[in-house]
């Protein structure tokens, strides 16, 4: 989790900047399936024959052991310091001299091309990976131009939440290579580091019964976000965050914390992660064998109204109304203590966050609310994101031996945390890019420029762990929180299922007009009735048809994917 940017905030960033239309990062896929415009997904038997075996790795032992929770979720292992004994998991040089072009997103400064880190990596891989990180914020707009011209590189990262924009569902088999013959069943065992990735993650790489995607940033307890608070300020004021057990409690706390004259407001925007407290289900809920769309679940309006009341009561920071969710300005307000409660991804609770917060306020400490439900009485429910929301794909133009070479390289890149290979990929060359510190490798100046911006991780990487070198307290806090929260996890309907909606329903699936209205109601610009009106229009203009399609084509044929 330490390397994972907040998916939702990325999604929101993309929506604001690029106009991404993805309604949900999980399920939306635009365009017809295969050659036609029919859409579709995978069948049970197809899945079973395409899925690779799972062979867990025991190469490294964590300081904080994972905890098993509900719905098969397992909290991530924690490392308080970097393992000193660095095992070698890939005994042979994986490459055989090939050269491959790549495309990956990167948030942050792009390392110089042809730098020492890349050269050392190429040497270790025995092949040349031409790394070409592209600005993350515009990534969704770069992809369609490449796919339309059929000029995808040999190895490309197509994040799940960009599947709609990238039309991934229609690229598989036409521009992206089928990996089933190389990885399905026990064939994956020749790539032990890939075999250690969780089965659910591979499921998300399967399209129409065949395996295409190599999972990246996989985790067995992936949440869209969590509700954070300024723990240092709470403690100073004698507020116990764990006493918040309902939406009313949170609201009351907000009233207590807000002091507009002093320039302090309680909340940043909570709406995008409101599912964490209100029992709304990601896209659908099954009631009596029928699907009820998110918009039509009764709790949806309730949650919308609650967020609206926060705005009306003046508890939301006014600048949050004009910005996009979790933008840099929002984080800056949280660091500066101008807002005290925020909803953000799991990736924002780490050492870098502590550095940024302490720069603004030396006592800065991020805390996380324990899960609670809005009504205060029912059991909290935390919807799991997909096991992996990022996938890398190989170009269909590659020859079989090239695909095998790339998979061997992927196996190297997926080497577990703390291994020799992981150290090389993440930190670079010892002495040049890093030196040994008291808790593990420390980047040199050259290292921060060349190795620290993670580029290879978007092609393949091991399962997420919690590790904040130099900040063991954060790791402990995080793991303690996760160990408790993992008990409330559940799998949303159609979890880890790639579904391609027919093109004629894609507009209804994106539901841009309803989404716009929802965001405006939650920000207090429009009344709740505006949402009901937009919903009515949507239902008439394809919304009902869309739900019907999901029922007959997905639910009735393949079930909910929750087993």
Partner 1 sequence: MASTLAPGDEPGVTSPARRRGHRRRPVPPENRLTWRIRLRRDRTLILMTLPAIGLLVVFTYLPMLGIVTAFQFYDPLVGIADSEWIGLENFERLFGDPLFWGALENTLYLSAVQLVLYFPIPIMLALLLNSVLNERVRAVIQAVTFLPHFFSWVLVVTIFQQMFGGAGLLNQFLRDHGMGTWDLMTDPDTFALLVTSQVVWKDAGWGIIVFLAALTAINQNLYEAAAVDGAGRWRRMWHVTLPGMRGIIVLMLVLRLGNALSVGFEQLLIQRAGVGHDAADVLDTFAYYYGIGTQDYGYGAAAGIFKSVISLLLLWGANALAHRFGEDGLYRS
- The residues of the shown chain that bind partner 1, judged by CB under 8 A, are 16, 19-21, 30-31, 144, 147-148, 164-165, 167, 170-171, 174, 260-261, 263, 265, 317-319, 321-324, 338, 503, 506-507, 510, 512-513, 516-517, 519-520, 523, 525-526, 537
Minimum distance, C-beta of residue 252 to partner 1, in the bound complex (Å)? 22
Nearest to 82 by CA among 436, 327, 555: 436
Residue 62 makes CB contacts below 8 A (sequence gap 6+) with 77, 78, 79, 465
Minimum distance, C-beta of residue 520 to partner 1, in the bound complex (Å)? 4
Minimum distance, C-beta of residue 269 to partner 1, in the bound complex (Å)? 10
Minimum distance, C-beta of residue 525 to partner 1, in the bound complex (Å)? 4
Minimum distance, C-beta of residue 173 to partner 1, in the bound complex (Å)? 12
Minimum distance, C-beta of residue 321 to partner 1, in the bound complex (Å)? 5
- Give 145 or 377: the residue with its C-beta nearer to partner 1: 145
What is the rounded CA–CA span in Å between residue 90 and residue 421?
8
Q: Which two tokens stand for residue 68?
A: 């098993």
Rg (CA), the chain: 23
CB 343 within 8 A of CB 226: yes
Detail the DSSP E strand segments found in 205-289. 206-207, 210-211, 214-216, 226-230, 265-267, 284-287
Using CA atoms, how far residue 99 sits from 102, 156, 176, 394, 409, in Å, is 10, 14, 18, 13, 12
DSSP assignment of 146-159 equals HHHTT---SEEE--
Q: Which two tokens stand for residue 281?
A: 């289900």
Minimum distance, C-beta of residue 315 to partner 1, in the bound complex (Å)? 12
State the angle between helix axes of 503-510 and 512-522 in degrees (0 to 180), rounded to the nearest 10. Answer: 10
What is the rounded CA–CA span in Å between residue 162 and residue 360?
34
DSSP 501: P
- Give 258 or 496: the residue with its C-beta nearer to partner 1: 258
- Give 19 or 185: the residue with its C-beta nearer to partner 1: 19
- Give 499 or 555: the residue with its C-beta nearer to partner 1: 499
CB 457 within 8 A of CB 42: no
- Give 148 or 362: the residue with its C-beta nearer to partner 1: 148
- Give 73 or 166: the residue with its C-beta nearer to partner 1: 166
CB 24 within 8 A of CB 369: no
**In which region does residue 561 sit, left (phi positive, over 0), alpha (psi from -120 to 50) or beta (all else)?**
left
Minimum distance, C-beta of residue 249 to partner 1, in the bound complex (Å)? 25
- Give 265 or 494: the residue with its C-beta nearer to partner 1: 265
CB 493 within 8 A of CB 530: no
Using CA atoms, how far residue 135 sits from 20, 105, 440, in Å, is 15, 6, 30
- Give 166 or 469: the residue with its C-beta nearer to partner 1: 166
What is the rounded CA–CA span in Å between residue 26 and residue 491?
12
Q: Which two tokens stand for residue 205?
A: 């790489």
Minimum distance, C-beta of residue 302 to partner 1, in the bound complex (Å)? 21
Residue 423 makes CB contacts below 8 A (sequence gap 6+) with 86, 441
- Give 293 or 381: the residue with its C-beta nearer to partner 1: 293
Which SS3 state, helix, strand or coil, does residue 334 take? helix
- Give 39 or 62: the residue with its C-beta nearer to partner 1: 39
Minimum distance, C-beta of residue 208 to partner 1, in the bound complex (Å)? 16
What is the rounded CA–CA span in Å between residue 73 and residue 559?
20
- Give 65 or 321: the residue with its C-beta nearer to partner 1: 321
What is the rounded CA–CA span in Å between residue 26 and residue 216?
15
- Give 153 or 192: the residue with its C-beta nearer to partner 1: 153
Minimum distance, C-beta of residue 230 to partner 1, in the bound complex (Å)? 17
Minimum distance, C-beta of residue 171 to partner 1, in the bound complex (Å)? 8
């Amino acid at each position: 989790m330490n390397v994972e940017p907040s998916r939702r905030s990325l999604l929101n960033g993309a929506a604001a900047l690029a106009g991404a239309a993805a309604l949900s990062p999980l399920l939306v896929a635009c365009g017809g399936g295969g050659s036609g415009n029919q859409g579709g997904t995978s069948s049970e038997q197809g899945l079973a024959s395409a899925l690779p075996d799972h062979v867990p790795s025991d190469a490294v032992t964590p300081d904080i052991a994972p905890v098993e929770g509900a719905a098969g979720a397992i909290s991530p292992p924690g490392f308080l310091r970097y393992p000193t004994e660095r095992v070698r998991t890939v005994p042979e040089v994986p490459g055989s001299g090939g050269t491959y072009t790549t495309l990956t997103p990167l948030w942050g400064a792009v390392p110089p091309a042809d730098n020492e880190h890349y050269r050392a990596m190429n040497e270790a891989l025995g092949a040349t990976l031409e790394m070409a990180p592209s600005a993350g914020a515009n990534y969704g707009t770069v992809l369609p131009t490449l796919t339309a011209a059929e000029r995808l590189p040999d190895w490309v990262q197509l994040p799940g939440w960009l599947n709609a924009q990238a039309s991934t569902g229609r690229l598989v088999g036409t521009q992206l290579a089928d990996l089933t013959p190389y990885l399905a069943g026990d064939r994956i065992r020749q790539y032990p580091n890939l075999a250690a990735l969780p089965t659910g993650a591979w499921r998300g790489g399967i399209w129409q019964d065949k395996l295409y995607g190599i999972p990246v940033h996989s985790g067995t307890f992936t949440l869209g976000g969590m509700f954070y608070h300024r723990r240092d300020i709470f403690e100073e004021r004698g507020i116990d965050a764990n006493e918040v057990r309902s939406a009313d409690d949170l609201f009351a706390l907000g009233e207590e914390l807000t002091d507009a004259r002093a320039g302090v407001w309680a909340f940043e925007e909570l709406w995008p992660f409101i599912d964490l407290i209100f029992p709304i289900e990601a896209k659908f809920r099954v009631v009596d064998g029928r699907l009820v769309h998110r918009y039509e679940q009764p709790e949806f309006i309730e949650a919308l109204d609650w967020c609206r009341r926060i705005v009306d009561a003046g508890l939301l920071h006014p600048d949050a109304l004009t910005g996009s969710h979790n933008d840099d300005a929002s984080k800056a307000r949280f660091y500066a203590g101008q807002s005290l409660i925020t909803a953000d991804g799991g990736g924002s609770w780490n050492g870098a966050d502590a550095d940024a917060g302490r720069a603004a306020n030396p006592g800065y400490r991020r805390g996380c609310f324990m899960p609670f439900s809005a009504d205060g009485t029912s059991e909290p429910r935390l919807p799991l994101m997909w096991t992996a929301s990022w996938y890398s794909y190989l170009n269909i133009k590659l020859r079989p031996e090239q695909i095998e070479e790339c998979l061997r390289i992927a196996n190297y890149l997926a080497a577990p945390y703390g291994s020799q290979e992981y150290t090389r990929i993440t930190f670079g060359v010892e002495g040049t890019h890093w030196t040994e510190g008291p808790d593990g490798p420390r980047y040199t100046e050259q290292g921060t420029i060349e190795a620290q911006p993670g580029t290879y991780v978007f092609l393949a990487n091991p399962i997420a762990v919690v590790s904040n070198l130099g900040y063991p307290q954060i790791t402990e806090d995080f793991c303690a929180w996760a160990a408790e929260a993992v008990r409330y996890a559940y799998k949303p309907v159609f979890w880890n299922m790639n579904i391609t909606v027919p093109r004629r329903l894609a507009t209804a699936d994106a539901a841009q007009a309803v989404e716009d209205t929802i965001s405006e109601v939650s920000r207090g610009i429009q009344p709740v009735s505006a949402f009901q009106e937009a919903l009515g229009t949507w239902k008439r203009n394809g919304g009902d048809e869309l739900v019907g399609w999901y029922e007959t084509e997905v639910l009735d044929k393949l079930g909910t994917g929750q087993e």
